[in-house]
């Protein structure tokens, strides 16, 4: 059927009517597709990056565990070698002492405890090398020598303590001189040098009180001093360290 036109336009439309242009939907679709692809690419890059980071972390963790395992194995091997060497030396010592008569083994006990401490590994080897009948006598000798070694150790420590107190007294005298106190003397006196003896015109009850309760008094106590005597030329004031 042929379309009719009235008034110069399509049928039913006013004159000069033009049909609206078709929507240009193609460009918008392309843009949306590109944006979508871009988002997918970015998301993919993020996922790949996360995966790589996780892989790196796993590799580092594996490497750390391998290092720790290697260190543990090396430490265990070193401990085994040391234990093996100790056993070897012990067996050699036992063999040596077994070849000795009782008097020589007793001399060996004395030699093992000649200082301020006894060599326990030697004593153990001597006991193992001894016969059942000899061991009570060997053990008695060991106990005696250990006691002697302990006495020597205590004596050495006591002598060192005395030297430390004498050194403290000399140092304190220098401090008083620097403070302008002009002490006549400062010394460690008594059988075990446990009294700090100070002489000077500054000596007083107040001076002794402050010294005992100050840091220097604490240091004197730590050095083994039991009291301080401070003589001003007439009166001696005494303070004790609690």
1 pLDDT more than 50: no
| pLDDT tens digit sequence for 159-212 | 999 999 999 999 999 999 999 999 999 999 998 899 999 999 999 999 999 999
- Read off the pLDDT band of 241 (50, 70, 90): confident
Q: Is 10 helix (H, G, I), strand (E, B) or coil?
A: strand
| pLDDT tens digit sequence for 94-141 | 999 999 999 999 999 999 998 888 999 999 999 999 999 999 999 999
13 pLDDT more than 50: yes
The proportion of the chain whose per-residue pLDDT surpasses 90, expressed as a percent, equals 56
State the Cα–Cα distance between residues 105 and 124, nearest whole angstrom. 12
What is the number of other CB atoms lying within 10 angstroms of the CB of residue 36?
A: 10
- Reported pTM: 0.49
- Read off the pLDDT band of 54 (50, 70, 90): confident
The C-alpha angle 181, 186, 187, rounded to 5 degrees, equals 170
Distance between alpha carbon 59 and the CA centroid of its chain, in Å?
A: 31
Q: Which residue has the higher pLDDT, 3 or 225?
A: 225
**Mean pLDDT, the chain, whole residue set:** 84
CA dihedral 114, 117, 122, 125 (to 10 degrees): 120
State the Cα–Cα distance between residues 71 and 69, nearest whole angstrom. 5
36 pLDDT more than 70: no
15 pLDDT more than 70: no
Report pLDDT for 178: 95
Tokens representing 167? Answer: 């050194």
The C-alpha angle 64, 65, 69, rounded to 5 degrees, equals 120
């Amino acid at each position: 059927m042929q379309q009719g036109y009235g008034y110069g336009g399509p049928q039913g439309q006013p004159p000069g009517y033009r049909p609206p242009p078709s929507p240009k939907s193609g460009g918008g679709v392309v843009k949306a597709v590109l944006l979508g692809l871009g988002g997918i690419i970015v998301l993919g890059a993020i996922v790949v990056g996360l995966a790589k980071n996780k892989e790196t972390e796993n590799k580092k963790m594996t490497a750390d565990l391998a290092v720790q395992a290697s260190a543990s194995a090396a430490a265990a091997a070193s401990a085994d070698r040391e234990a093996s060497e100790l056993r070897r030396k012990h067996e050699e010592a036992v063999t040596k002492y077994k070849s000795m008569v009782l008097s020589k083994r007793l001399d060996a006990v004395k030699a093992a405890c000649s200082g301020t401490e006894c060599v326990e590994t030697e004593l153990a080897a001597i006991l193992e090398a001894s016969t059942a009948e000899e061991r009570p006598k060997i053990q008695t000798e060991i106990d005696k020598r250990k006691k002697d070694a302990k006495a020597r150790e205590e004596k050495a420590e006591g002598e060192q303590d005395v030297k430390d107190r004498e050194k403290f007294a000399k140092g304190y005298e220098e401090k008083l001189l620097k403070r302008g106190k002009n002490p006549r003397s400062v010394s460690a006196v008594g059988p075990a040098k446990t009294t700090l003896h100070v002489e000077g015109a500054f000596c007083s009850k107040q001076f002794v009180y402050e010294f005992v309760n100050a840091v220097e008094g604490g240091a004197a106590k730590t050095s083994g001093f039991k009291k301080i005597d401070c003589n001003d030329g007439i009166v001696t004031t005494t303070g004790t360290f609690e």
